[in-house]
Amino acid sequence: MRIETCFYKMVSHFSLLTSHFSLTMLYALSFLSFAICLGLTPAVRYAAIKKGWLAYPVKDRWHTKPTALLGGIAIYLGMAVPLLFIADFSTILPHLIRTSEPFPLPSADAAIWVGMTLLFVLGLLDDFLHIKPHTKLVGQILVASLVTFLGFRLHWFFSLTADTIVTIFWIVGITNAFNLIDNMDGLCAGIGMIAALHLAILFMGMNNEIPARTAMMLAAVLAAFLLYNFNPASIFMGDCGSLIIGFALSMLTLCYAESGSATLSSYSVPIMILTVPILDTTLVTLIRLLSGRKASVGGKDHTSHRLVITGFSEKGAVLSLYAIGSISGIAALFVSRNDTLTSPAVIIPLVLSVILMSVYLAQLRIYPEKEFSLLRGRSYTPVLMELTYKWQMVMVLLDFCLIAFAYYLSYRLRFDSLSFPFYFKVFLNSLPAVIACKFVAFFTMGIYRGIWQYMSSNDVFVYLRASLVATMLSFTALTFVWRFEDFSKGIFLIDWLLTTGLLLGTRGFFRISLDSMKRKTLAGDSVFIYGAGRGGEILVREILNNSKLNVRPVGFIDDDVLKTGKKLQGFPILGTFQNIGTLFEKQRVKGILISFNHKESADLGAVKSFCKSNNLFLKRFSIELKEVRG
């Protein structure tokens, strides 16, 4: 018997002792990881401050004060120490020696420990020596190649060569993705914790204990570190932390691919669980390449930074990305437990939402226009704005997806799991006719002639009529072509409700989002608006849509006592002019805008006097028509 085989059998007894853990043991290991990281993080922070291992504020970074580095040491030890004692490393040796006897796939926690340790060393070198990006990339590729050599793969392709290449790309890509999202307090640790929790739930549902306990330990470690890393952070993890988080999560998704069957979920679940880092990496890389900037150079152009530009606070931006990660993770759990015919009901809305969010955030200008040089002298931002602001084209493409999705969902809601496979063929055969009929109705009824930014109640009725006509036309066409065989009348009622809701919902969402962004990003001198009538409403709309005015309303003042305490266009009516002194003491505005159109007012003189005595500017807003002569 060969020496390698003898060694493998000799340690098999230890494998049996370490391969079966109860749920209690899983929670105990998670608590141990949590405690190790919780206790070591302040010790690492203290040492980093003493030794001067600090991240200092620079132009292309987000933090504004020196912050301790190397929190990844606590993250690594919180994971590595427990894994060192429970992982079955004996399963790796036969794969490295490549004996002639077939051996099972190595223990996942052992493979994760080895790769995590190598990347931890690589990250430490980068944190201390700032090695070149291509050197760090080579190290990541070597670790990913080692993992695939051990037998871990995505199993997305029948070709072993293609699957190996894609697996290496996946590991390196996810590892770097978490390195990239480590750009704001608590973001990388929080997103990693959410992803790890969803993976733990996924594996526990599959009774796959080894990756389940590894995922729970990772979630526990990141939860402990997040107590020190959430805004305002007292310590950063550094590359030695972010690299091992990305690697561990990429390996856990490979474990899911190994244990799952070749269905839609095997492709979609890993991507959905890691939606946030994938979205950020893709968005940042593409925009930087288009703008002539190096993809490996840091900057303030990440998804989190763009959310702050739209008006979110730093905490709000991070919590919003937490919410996206949680929603996509819950969607992934749903997909993993349902068949391929049901999963699109969740996957399609999620994909559309992510695409629309990406297009919206990509329009925001981050850097000076002179940096955008790849598009033959044309700046990147105006080109993208030109494409995305042609909303008729965007809306047509969006409606194409909405029509197909509403029609599919109608069938899924109407028929149970037993009968749906038969009617799914009916759906596929009739879908092209339904799409054609609905677009004919939409164009004929004129829903693409309106401007969605200024939707009114009249536009809502246009959408209702267009959707009704589209459904009736589809019904008529299917009756004429197929004599309505194998169709259900209930399908078209459900389809009309869904189509109408999706059309109005998307337009309303765009309108609300745009208005919300304008309000959050409103900047300039704080002012009172005197006059909470029709003129005041028009003035607020003009302020929101015209940044050149450079004023920011605090609220209204109106002589009508009955209006006090109410709101107009979202801004409070604070009181009457008689309360101006008290209101000014509270708000300390820079000026007053008069919104009523009549030339004089009983209090106009008093307003002028008050502004003069308090060094405030006074401006009048008016709209009038003048005849053009000559």
**pLDDT beneath 70: ranges in the chain:** 1-22, 58-64, 93-104, 260-262, 292, 295-298, 365, 367-392, 450-456, 484, 486, 596-603, 630
The amino acid present at 122, given as its one-letter code, is L
8-state DSSP, 548? G
pLDDT in tens, 118-168: 999 999 999 888 888 888 889 999 999 988 888 888 888 888 888 889 999
How many C-beta atoms surround the C-beta of residue 55 within 10 A? 19
H helical segments located in 55-186: 72-86, 93-97, 108-129, 133-149, 160-180
Residue 256 to residues 118, 135, 156, 204, 387, Cα–Cα distance (Å): 23, 30, 12, 11, 39
Please name each of the domains of the chain with its CATH number: 3-260 (no CATH), 272-389 (no CATH), 402-519 (no CATH), 522-620 (3.40.50.720)
Chain centroid offset of residue 316 CA: 13
Q: Half-sphere exposure of residue 511, counting CA atoms within 13 Å on the CB side?
A: 14
CA angle in degrees (0–180, nearest 5) for 595-600-601: 80
Distance CA 52, CA 492 (A): 68
pLDDT in tens, 560-581: 888 888 888 889 999 888 888 8
Q: Is residue 237 helix, strand or coil? A: coil
Residue 442 to residues 447, 465, 469, Cα–Cα distance (Å): 6, 9, 8
State residue 602's pLDDT score: 53
Structure tokens, 217: 């330990």
- Sign of torsion, CA 404 406 410 413? positive
What does DSSP say about strands 54-55 and 67-68: parallel, antiparallel, or unpaired? Answer: antiparallel
Exposed e or buried b per residue across 455-484, where buried means at least 16 C-beta atoms within 10 angstroms of its C-beta = beeebeebbeebbebbbebbbebbeeeeee
From 117, 355, 127, select the one nearest 239 (Cα to Cα): 127
Distance CA 359, CA 381 (A): 12
For 270-330, the DSSP string reads: HHHHTHHHHHHHHHHHHHHHHTT--TTS--S-SHHHHHHHTT--HHHHHHHHHHHHHHHHH
pLDDT in tens, 579-615: 888 888 888 888 999 886 554 455 678 888 888 888 9
Cα-flanking dihedrals φ and ψ of residue 593, to 5°? -110, 125
Burial bucket for residue 581 (CB in 10 Å: 0-12, 13-18, 19+): exposed
| Beta carbons of 383 and 375 less than 8 angstroms apart | yes
For 318-386, the DSSP string reads: HHHHHHHHHHHHHHHHHHHTS-TTTTHHHHHHHHHHHHHHHHHHHTS--S-GGG--TBTTB-HHHHHHH
State residue 379's pLDDT score: 46
From 73, 71, 84, select the one nearest 112 (Cα to Cα): 84
